[in-house]
Amino acid sequence: MKFSIITLFPDMLSGPLEISMLKKARDNGLVDIEVINLREFGVGSGKQVDDTPYGGGDGMLLKPEPVVNAIEHTKSQQQATDNSMVILLTPQGDSYTQATARQLSGESHIILVCGHYEGFDERIRAFVDWQISIGDYVLTGGEIPAMAVVDSVTRLLPGVLGGERSAVDDSFADGETLEYPQYTRPNQFRGMEVPDVLLSGNHGEIDQWRQAQARQRRRG
């Protein structure tokens, strides 16, 4: 799978992409992640990417030309047989869930468009396939949502996680159930003990206990 992230601030993404699971996945060739600087597609000698909104108002809006040109250029770099899913990260988008991540994990190429400033020209929406929001709050830009999508989708790809059932047993794997409680050494910590069933060695009882605990944590 390949991710292409279109952003005005590439440096915001460099750190997370170079550590932990994402770095290992990239090093092992399980995922390809490229960061595209929107400024390179700016208009004129000054590489302008934003302008004031028609009708007045505070802030600046991303212009349509740089964003659309960046999307089309990114698509043109792919093999003719590849299909690119273009996602605009915006508060007006569909709520992002684990089910969304699983759906996206089946794509071959995802282009993530990060907004910034006050927003973006409305006509940009005509050039994307899906609009996604990671929550009902406002961020400075789409870089953090982009990383949330990349991280959550990448961990679902075959071979990325160490344990075969790690992604299956995660919270929200079925859309509602949260992950069961987990413990490690020491057996006792400040008066709190590990449940006896986890020390029993009876894997059948342990599975039943975990399922029961997960059901109790079911959202809602």
Residues belonging to the active site: 91, 118, 155, 170
Q: How many helices (H) and strands (E) does the chain have?
A: 7, 10
Q: How many CB atoms lie within 10 A of CB 160?
A: 19
Contacts of 71 (CB under 8 A, 6+ apart): 6, 86, 111, 113, 127, 128
Using alpha carbons, select from 114, 116, 120, 7 the residue that is nearest to residue 63. Answer: 120
DSSP string, 84-127: EEEEEEEEEEEEP-HHHHHHHTT-SEEEEEEP-TTEE-GGGGGG
Q: How far apart are CA 114 and CA 196, in angstroms?
A: 48
Q: How far apart are CA 31 and CA 27, in angstroms?
A: 8
Residue type, 15: G
119 DSSP β-pair partners: 61
Q: How far apart are CA 68 and CA 64, in angstroms?
A: 6
Q: How far apart are CA 131 and CA 72, in angstroms?
A: 17
